[in-house]
Each structure stands twice: as C-alpha cells, then as structure tokens.
Structure 1
Amino acid sequence: MRVLDVDDDALADKPDLGATTDEPSHARISAWLLSRMVPGKLRPGDKLPPEEGLAAALGVSRMTLRQALGSLEQQGWIERRRGRAGGNFIREPRVAVDLTGLPGFTEQMRRANVRAGARVVRAQLIDAPAEVAEGLEIARGQEVVELVRVRSARRQPLALEETYLPAQLFPGLLDHQLTGSLYALMRKAYGLAPDRAVEWLEPEISSDEHAALLDVDPGTALMLVTRKASTAGGIVVEYARDRYRPDRTRITLQTGAGTHVATELSIDLT
C-alpha cells in the first residue's frame, strides 16, 4: 500500500478549478482522479492524502472534495474506511455484469472489456431434483447435466454458476471442453441456444461451500440470479442459479419505454 501526499507524482496535473466552465468543481475533481486511475498512476490499495490537505491543494472546500469522492465511491473506484487507520483508498473497480439480452458470462465480460475465465467444479449426469425438474419442465428424477463452474475476471473469482440442462437434448455434452462459453457450445453443437429467459434476482447469504469457492467469508451476502431459459421455439433448455460477488460485480439491466424485460429486479448489494 502506498500512502500518498498531495505532491506525489500520482496526483500530478491537478485541475484548474478557477477556470470558467459549466461543469461543477466536484465533477472535475472526480474526472481528474479517474484520469489518474485508468492509466494506473493511482493503483488499487493506494491511500489518498487526508481530505483537508487534498482539498487545500485543490483550492476547494472539504465538502466539495467529499462530493467528488462520494461519486467515485458510488461507482466503485474508491473505498472510504473509518477509524484511526481509515481514509480514502483506491480500489479495484467492480466489473459491470450486463444482463440485457440474455448474454452468457463470456459475453458479459466481453461487454465489460474483461477476459473471462472458468474453473469446472463439477460436471456430471444426475437425476433431476424437484426444483430443477420444475424449472426444466421435465419429470422429477429424469437425467440432467449438472455443470458447476467458478467464473473469473482479472484472475479473481466473480461468480459461481450452477447450470442444469436436459441430458436427452445434449447427449455427449460432458465430452466437450467446458471452460468456454456454454451458450456458444449449445448453439454450435446442438442448435439449441437460449433465446429468451425469465430471471429472478435476490440476495442470498453464502454457505460454507459457496464461500470457499468464491473466496469470501461464510455468511457474505451474494446476488443470486435464478434463470429459466428456452429456445425461440419454446423448448426449455436451461435452469441455472448464478451467484455473484457484489464487491466485485455490479449488475446492470438496460430497459426502455415499451420494452418488456423478463428480469424482475436489479439490486446493488454494496
């Protein structure tokens, strides 16, 4: 961790807040700090100078500086800690997980300009439990493919995917490479890619197993996305439960007037 002072090179090129502009000072301060973060001059873990000193160096009130820092905190760029060892710290920004248009995780990371990774935890054929059978609209005990993967970005675990597919529709699926896009595999090898889905979003407290896989403490709040997906012809092909780390992801959904979206709710847990 670097503890910065107001004259540090990482805080060079301070904005001229005396210049006439329609943009308020706090917005210009936010933009300046962000411009130092993106090229890596300000790095995750860096501690910014005390607010009083930084405000004086910028020629603004402490309230104005706090507005700027609050905006960056809301966007996930800064973590503000209290106490004697507290202060304002640069943090790794959360990855935007955009659910619009039924993308898979690989496509979500492509939208966020982040390379996706996957580690297969379990890949097997099982008899469908009651909830899975109901979700897939099949008989209880019918054989399904169970695929559990930890999905990562920036080499850090972001989500735990628990996916179920009707085995009769996807024979031999377990013989394929399962660390890439599952939706692409379903489309190319079987012609049965999801086209529409209903998704339910709700907070969930992590179990010991899920916490260990996602590298969080047991009892940590996660965002659970439960999905039932079907093809354009109405064949149900996927029932899934995806659990996201809210400290590293930010779930978004784009909507518009007159547009029907099947996702019921979006919550940011931070």
Structure 2
Amino acid sequence: MVDGDEPAGGVMNDVSKESAETAVDEVRRLILQRIHSGVLQPGQRLGSERDLALELGVSRSTLRHALSALEQAGVVRRVPGRGGGTFVSHPKIERDLSSVAGLPAYLRRQGFTAGTRVISAAMAAADEATVASLDLKPGALVLDIVRVRLADGVPISLEEVRLPAERFPGLLELPLGGSLYELLEEHYSVTPAEVTERIEVVLAGPDEAAILDIAPGSALLSITRTARTADGEPFEFSHDLFRADRTSILVRTQGKASASESARRNGHAIELQRDAGP
C-alpha cells in the first residue's frame, strides 16, 4: 500500500476535503474514547502509524492529522527517533497558587500518589540571594535540601529549599520524604501565612533533564518562593523546577465586588496587591 492511500475495505473514505476532515475527527474521537475508557493508559505507546492506520481503516496522512490535533491538545506526546513513537500523555498536576500547601497535599487532592527522592540535605553558608530573601546576616548558615518530587512514581519537579539553620535545629535528622510544611508545623510550630512566588519558563539542562526523565531543552516552570509567618518573618526560600508537560498553573483572583462583599462579611478590608512591572 502506498503511503496516503486508503486501505482496502476501510471504514472511512477521505477522498474529498470535507470527508477528510470528517475522517480526522472520527479518528481523533476513537483514540480519545480508548483513552477515556482505559483501553489506552497514560504512558502507553499507541503502536506504529502503519499498524494503527490499518486497524482504523484510514490513510496514514489522516492518522497523522488526528495525532497532531491530539498532541496540540496535550492528550498524546510524540517522541521522534528510534524507540520513539506516540504515547498517551500523563494527566497534568494542577499547581494552585491561590492557596498555601505543600506539594504532597496538592497531589493527594488530585488523586495522585505522592513520592519523594532526597538528593541531598546539608548545612551550608547562605548565598547572597538567600541572605536577602530570608533577611539573614552575611555568612549565616542555612539548611539546604534538594529533592525530586514524584506523582504516581513519575518525576514531576526538582526542588531546592533553604531554611535558617538557627531556627530549625535538628531538622535534617527528621524524615524528609514528605511535606516540609507539615514537619515545620509539627516540630517547630511554624506555618506559612504569606507566600510570594515568581514564575518563569526555562529550558532543562542536561542535569535537570536526566533527573526529571525528559529531553534536554524541554520546557520547565521555574518557581522561586519565599514564605513568611503570620508576623511577616521569612523562613523559607526555595526554587522549584516543574515539568511543563505535567503541570498546569491555577490562580484564583478575587474581583472588586467579591472583595467588598468579603470585607463586609468578615468586618475588615482586604487589600489585593500586585507587583508593578518595570
């Protein structure tokens, strides 16, 4: 069979532009149905284009158009080269910036099994950025913890957390595989009341790519975070690198009317602030 020709006895006929578009939509719906029904699982390879086209009774050209639409929608991912192919995408983790919680809590809420690999945990001298963010004296010691976060066993983020060593003695002797916020609350009575996060898109270098099981140059969401207690004292300065193909960002913004109503109910005004651009 010549590539682009319709297989004999095919259930779809894409000889005209209109029928071709109909065929592409039908193939897309069939693949989506298999994914939603569980016939195709996250991470599973769909099979070769030739076999899949024969199975569905369409041309490889029609199949490619359908797969391209599914890839743009984030339903599948296509990996070039030997050993590549088309794979069912894993569901994305929703990172809610409107609430303060540790990543394991976010994962549990969304039905994922949270996991952690501790890469390193040590005491070190704070660099300039950490000194400024945590309001420390130059040369002050911090606890530097580097971990890989997992969702259903798949790496989704690489994080480095820095905490004032003087404030959290003995922390490195505690189990660091879960939520640090829960540890800080249980052992030191410290909870985050205000968090500032800055987000940008960066490209994965060779080391990050190897750790997160992605290709070098893949997009990452870089999140720099400073957390403060209710009295405004900073206690956490961290940097997270999230896989962009596995993460979506959610932000809830309260409008003027809602803010006024909330203030009336609670008896105090709520001021919403936004950093001004350059």
1:123, 1:231 → 2: CA distance? 23
Please tell me the residue identity of whatever aligns with 1:180. G
Q: Is the 8 A contact 1:198 1:263 kept in 2?
A: no
Q: Is the 8 A contact 1:227 1:239 kept in 2?
A: yes
Counterpart mapping for 1:146-165 below 5 A: 146-165=144-163
- 1:140 positional shift: 2.0
CA deviation vs aligned residue, 1:176-230 (integer Å, no higher than 9, x gap): 1100111111111111111211110012233333233222344333210000110
Rate the CA distance shift 1:82–1:253 in 2: closer, same or farther, 3 A.
same
* Residue equivalent to 1:200: 198
Q: 1:173 aligns with which of 165, 171, 174?
A: 171
1:102, 1:75 → 2: CA distance? 29
Question: What fraction of aligned residue pairs are identical, expressed as a percent?
Answer: 34
Q: 1:241 aligns with which of 210, 225, 239?
A: 239
Please tell me the residue identity of whatever aligns with 1:121. I
Task: Give SS of 1:163's match.
Answer: strand
1:263, 1:89 → 2: CA distance? 40
Counterpart mapping for 1:178-189 below 5 A: 178-189=176-187
CA deviation vs aligned residue, 1:67-91 (integer Å, no higher than 9, x gap): 8973x545522236799x9986533
Task: Give SS of 2:163's match.
Answer: strand
* Residue equivalent to 1:141: 139
Q: 1:78 aligns with which of 57, 76, 79?
A: 76
* Residue equivalent to 2:115: 117
* Residue equivalent to 1:230: 228
Which has the higher Rg, Structure 1 or Structure 2?
2
Bigger Cα displacement from structure 2, 155-164 vs 216-225:
216-225
Rate the CA distance shift 1:97–1:29 in 2: closer, same or farther, 3 A.
farther
Q: 1:215 aligns with which of 213, 220, 225?
A: 213
1:213, 1:81 → 2: CA distance? 18
CA deviation vs aligned residue, 1:107-153 (integer Å, no higher than 9, x gap): 12123210111011111111101011111111121011111001011
Task: Give SS of 1:177's match.
Answer: coil
What's the TM-score, normalizing by structure 2?
0.70
Query: Across the two proteins, how many residue pairs are aligned to each other?
Result: 234
RMSD between aligned residues? 3.7
Q: Is the 8 A contact 2:45 2:86 kept in 1?
A: no
Bigger Cα displacement from structure 2, 229-238 vs 92-101:
92-101
* Residue equivalent to 2:249: 251
1:31, 1:263 → 2: CA distance? 44
Rate the CA distance shift 1:155–1:89 in 2: closer, same or farther, 3 A.
closer
2:116, 2:84 → 1: CA distance? 35
CA deviation vs aligned residue, 1:161-180 (integer Å, no higher than 9, x gap): 10001112111111111001
Q: Is the 8 A contact 1:163 1:239 kept in 2?
A: yes
Task: Give SS of 1:242's match.
Answer: strand
Please tell me the residue identity of whatever aligns with 2:45. G
Q: Is the 8 A contact 2:45 2:85 kept in 1?
A: no
What's the TM-score, normalizing by structure 1?
0.71
* Residue equivalent to 1:131: 129
- 1:39 positional shift: 4.2
- 1:45 positional shift: 1.5
- 1:42 positional shift: 1.9
1:126, 1:82 → 2: CA distance? 42
Q: Which runs of 5+ in 1 are unaligned?
A: 1-25, 57-61, 265-270
Task: Give SS of 1:168's match.
Answer: coil
Q: 1:37 aligns with which of 29, 35, 38?
A: 35
2:119, 2:80 → 1: CA distance? 38
Q: Which runs of 5+ in 2 are unaligned?
A: 1-23, 260-271
- 1:35 positional shift: 4.9
Rate the CA distance shift 1:105–1:133 in 2: closer, same or farther, 3 A.
same
Rate the CA distance shift 1:97–1:45 in 2: closer, same or farther, 3 A.
farther
